[in-house]
């Protein structure tokens, strides 16, 4: 495999840092190629602005149009182009981060906002009354697999079916489905480590073992069966799931998982 890890934590000597180290060692040791973007170490710029689009930035700025023009003409900022190149190089993408306020830290959101430009992350393919883009199963990153690895401060019960934060799968849907599946990547089930601030040495050793197992079985892991947008399950251009297709008991985000 060619594995690209995007690491987003301000302290390298943290649990997230340890999980990234384990991933690099385990995957390299198994003969895979690994590249890491350590966003804090890179001093990653988090905010989309006119500087991202170089000479094609318009005035007033039009983020969608300008990002597409900059992508098409090669005018995107060098740091953004470098990340797009790593995504194209990879067959497997891992995002490693702490869950802050129920989603990614800002630095990682800024990696998504800046790297997933129009024409790359979205706005790919025909948009008409009969087709709404190559997305959700198709797109520039089709053929790749992606996976979240995250640490969570609270206990698992708070993120369970009746937990006050909502089910973890629902909290991660906007990232897994909205960011990763949108440009065509297949999404593997996440690796989630709860009570991250209070891990005993034994609990860490156990977690590290489970993480290594996940890493060494990435190639055989079945993706979450999200429904492809353009395979007949959806009304186009409303992009609503056709009546009667839902699995029993599924609603909300869960409608978009088959079977």
Structure tokens at 245: 């297709």
Place of tokens 């088959």: 258
- Residue 75 touches a second copy, criterion: CB under 8 A: no
Structure tokens at 11: 């302290």
If one asks whether residue 193 binds a second copy (CB under 8 A), the answer comes out as no
Nearer CB in complex with a second copy: 27/180 = 180
Q: Are strands 234-235 and 240-241 parallel, antiparallel or unpaired?
A: antiparallel
Render the burial of 233-257: b for 16+ CB within 10 Å, e for the rest: bbeeeeeeeeeeeeeeeeeebeebb
Of 11 and 33, CB closest to a second copy: 11
Q: How many CB atoms lie within 10 A of CB 258?
A: 15
Length of the chain: 259
Among 21, 46, 190, 203, binds a second copy (CB under 8 A): 46
Q: Could you say whether residue 248 binds a second copy (CB under 8 A)?
A: no
Nearer to a second copy, 110 or 214 (CB): 110
Shortest Cβ 173–a second copy spacing (Å): 6
Provide the token pair at 227: 């429904």
Name which of 208 and 239 has its Cβ closer to a second copy. 239
Per-residue exposure over 78-116, b if at least 16 CB sit within 10 Å of its own CB, e if not: ebbbebbebbeebbbbbbbbbbbeeebbebbbbbbbbbb
Nearer to a second copy, 58 or 221 (CB): 58
Provide, rounded to whole angstroms, the least separation between the CB of residue 80 and a second copy: 13
Contacting range for a second copy; rule: CB under 8 A; set: 74-82, 83-91, 93-101, 210-218 = 93-101
Residue 239 interacting with a second copy (CB under 8 A): yes
203 makes contact with a second copy (CB under 8 A):
no
**Closest to a second copy by CB, 52 or 144:** 52
Considering only residues 142-161, where is the footprint of a second copy by CB under 8 A? 153, 155, 157-158, 160
- Site for a second copy contains 102 (CB under 8 A): yes
Q: Which of 113, 190, 223, 257 binds a second copy (CB under 8 A)?
A: 113
Q: Should residue 110 be labelled a site residue for a second copy when binding is judged by CB under 8 A?
A: yes
Q: Identify whether the C-beta of residue 229 lies closer than 8 Å to the C-beta of residue 199.
A: no
Backbone angles phi, psi at 18, to 5 degrees: -65, -40
8 CB contacts (<8 Å, ≥6 apart)? 16, 39, 40, 95, 96, 97, 98, 104, 105, 107, 108, 111
Instruction: Name the site residues for a second copy (rule: CB under 8 A).
Output: 10-11, 13-14, 40, 46-50, 60-64, 98, 100-107, 109-110, 112-113, 116, 136, 153, 155, 157-158, 160, 162-167, 170-171, 173-174, 177-179, 197, 229, 234, 237-241, 251-256
């Amino acid at each position: 495999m060619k594995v690209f890890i995007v690491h987003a934590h301000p302290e390298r000597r943290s649990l997230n840092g340890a999980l990234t180290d384990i991933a690099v060692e385990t995957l390299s040791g198994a003969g895979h190629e690994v590249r890491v973007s350590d966003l804090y170490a890179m001093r990653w710029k988090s905010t989309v602005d006119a500087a991202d689009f170089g000479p094609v930035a318009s005035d007033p700025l039009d983020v969608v149009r300008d990002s597409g023009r900059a992508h098409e003409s090669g005018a995107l900022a060098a740091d953004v182009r470098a990340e797009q190149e790593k995504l194209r190089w990879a067959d497997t993408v891992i995002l490693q981060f702490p869950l802050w306020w129920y989603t990614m830290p800002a630095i990682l959101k800024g990696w998504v906002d800046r790297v997933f430009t129009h024409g790359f992350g979205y706005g790919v393919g025909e948009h008409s009354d009969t087709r709404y883009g190559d997305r959700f199963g198709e797109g520039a990153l089709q053929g790749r697999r992606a996976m979240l690895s995250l640490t969570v401060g609270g206990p698992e019960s708070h993120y369970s079916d009746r937990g006050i934060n909502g089910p973890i799968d629902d909290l991660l849907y906007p990232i897994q489905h909205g960011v990763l599946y949108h440009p065509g990547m297949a999404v593997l089930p996440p690796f989630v480590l709860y009570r991250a601030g209070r891990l005993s040495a034994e609990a860490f050793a156990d977690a590290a073992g489970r993480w290594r197992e996940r890493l060494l079985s990435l190639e055989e892991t079945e993706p979450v069966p999200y429904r492809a947008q353009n395979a007949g399950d959806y009304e186009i251009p409303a992009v609503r799931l056709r009546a009667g297709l839902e699995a029993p008991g599924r609603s909300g985000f869960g409608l978009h998982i088959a079977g």
